[in-house]
Amino acid sequence: MKTLVIAEHQHDVLSPLTANCIEAANKLSNSCDVLLIGSKLDTIQKELSTLPSIDTCLLVESPKLSHPIAETYAPIIADIAKSYDVILMSNSTQTKDILPRVAGLMKITPLTDVIEIIDNETFKRPIYAGNAIQKVRYQAQHKLISIRPTAFKPTGETNISNISFKSIQPTIPQTKTSWVNMAEATSERPELTAAKIIVSGGRGVGSKDNFKKIESIADLMGAAIGASRAAVDAGYVPNDYQVGQTGKIVAPDTYLCFGISGAIQHLAGMKDSQTIIAIDKDPDAPIFKVADYGYVGDLFEVIDLLQNSMATS
């Protein structure tokens, strides 16, 4: 099994999800190659050297590759993928954008959002917002797979790789896509998909101002912030806070949520959390069916008390 992992990075930093992808690759073969595409790769190269089981790192570097545009990246990846049996990416919006385009160029149906690797050709993936699990046999000359990162947490194993680096001169295609800008939600807080603790809020929080209270407890805890779609739609928080079927899939040690009713689409994104603590004033809210600890009552009362006791302790 010749396996290729395609690394993701932002701002010259390797995405933590790459380690999850290597974890998944290890279930298929003892070692893998990694493909790095971008414009400034030296620091990322160093970071890669701390991950296990990597053979060769292929570097495709050019100032013209500074933005991950699917139309540009896909033909480069498709060309390299032809030399591999399996190509793996960690599911992120970037992967969702690029991998199926690679698949289209190679005329191969990709297998997206894999949560379990049973053997070289048997995999599991969720369907219907995680309300059903599909077991599939996947046979293709080049298997194009995205894995759900929360299902492949790195073991922290440190058989550090002795990576060799190989530069590949890309032919950069002419495209009809151009970059305009990125409005970034800048934050000092931990990344949602990598956080150990997530505090999240829903429509019940009521306003953007009230949501600041959620933010201040999250900061006291060193937690990341999540939200339901209703909270994002109402403009309380930016879109990249959304947890759920069509937002981010998270599985922290603790998911603490305020005023989220627990629609299936929201549960799809957080029900693999280790401990769920939910506060909602409606005793029939479906969130209580998945919560390890539930409390029926006013969320603001809980937040105020929590804030006081945390400030004093």
Partner 1 sequence: MHVLVPVKHVIDYNVQIQIKSGQVVHDQVKHSINPFDEIALEEAIRLKEKSFISKITAISIGPEDVKPTLRHALALGADQALHIHTDETLSTLNRAEVLQAIVSKENIDLVLMGKQAIDDDANQTGQILAALLQWPQATFASEIKPGDTWEVTREVDGGLQTIAITLPAVITVDLRLNEPRFASLPNIMKAKSKPCQTIPINEFNLTEDQAIEILEVTEPPKRQAGTMVKEIDDLIKIIQEHCA
Site for ligand FAD in 213-232 (CB under 6 A): 228-231
46, 216, 254, 263 from 223: Cα distances, Å:
28, 10, 9, 23
Q: Do 143 and 14 touch, CB atoms closer than 8 A?
A: no
Identify which range of 30-38, 164-172, 190-198, 275-283 contacts ligand FAD by CB under 6 A.
Answer: 275-283
Chain centroid, CA 111 distance in Å = 16
Residue 68 vs 269, nearer CB to ligand FAD: 269
Among positions 113-132, residues that touch partner 1 (CB under 8 A) are: 113, 122, 126-132
Which residue in the block uniquely carries the two structure tokens 């937002």? 247
Which residue in the block uniquely carries the two structure tokens 């929360």? 150
Instruction: Look at strands 116-119 and 32-38 and give their pairing.
Output: unpaired
Q: What are phi and psi of 28, to 5 degrees?
A: -105, -30
Residue 251's binding partner out of partner 1, ligand FAD, none, with CB under 5 to 8 Å set by partner kind: none
- As a whole number of angstroms, the distance between CA 225 and CA 106 comes to 39
Please report how close the Cβ of residue 30 comes to partner 1 at its closest, in angstroms: 25
Half-sphere exposure of 189 (CA within 13 A, CB side): 25
Which residue in the block uniquely carries the two structure tokens 């407890």? 217
Q: Using CB under 6 A as the criterion, what x/- string covers residues 248-267 for binding ligand FAD?
A: -----------xxx-x-xx-
Does 229 engage in binding with partner 1 (CB under 8 A)? yes
Please report how close the Cβ of residue 91 comes to ligand FAD at its closest, in angstroms: 14
Q: Which of 184, 229, 199 is nearest to 307 (CA)?
A: 199
- As a whole number of angstroms, the distance between CA 76 and CA 28 comes to 24
Give bridge partners of residue 227 from the DSSP assignment. 201, 242
First to last CA, the chain: 54
Structure token digits, residue 175: 């495209």
Q: What are phi and psi of 222, to 5 degrees?
A: 70, 30
Identify which range of 81-89, 93-101, 157-165, 241-249 contacts ligand FAD by CB under 6 A.
Answer: 241-249
Among positions 274-303, residues that touch partner 1 (CB under 8 A) are: 275-277, 279, 288-297, 301-302
Does 142 engage in binding with ligand FAD (CB under 6 A)? no
Q: Do 275 and 253 touch, CB atoms closer than 8 A?
A: yes
Residue 184's binding partner out of ligand FAD, partner 1, none, with CB under 5 to 8 Å set by partner kind: partner 1
Among positions 149-208, residues that touch partner 1 (CB under 8 A) are: 175-185, 193, 197, 199
Please report how close the Cβ of residue 286 comes to ligand FAD at its closest, in angstroms: 9
Secondary structure of residue 61 in the 3-state scheme: strand
Compute how many residues bind ligand FAD; rule: CB under 6 A.
Answer: 28
Q: Using CB under 8 A as the criterion, what x/- string covers residues 65-94 for binding partner 1?
A: ----xxx--x-----------------xxx
Identify which range of 22-30, 35-43, 80-88, 238-246 contacts partner 1 by CB under 8 A.
Answer: 238-246
Residue 26 vs 261, nearer CB to partner 1: 261
Residue 16's binding partner out of partner 1, ligand FAD, none, with CB under 5 to 8 Å set by partner kind: none
Does 13 engage in binding with partner 1 (CB under 8 A)? no
- As a whole number of angstroms, the distance between CA 306 and CA 217 comes to 8
Q: Which residues bind ligand FAD (CB under 6 A)?
A: 202-204, 228-231, 242-247, 259-261, 263, 265-266, 269, 279-282, 285, 298-300
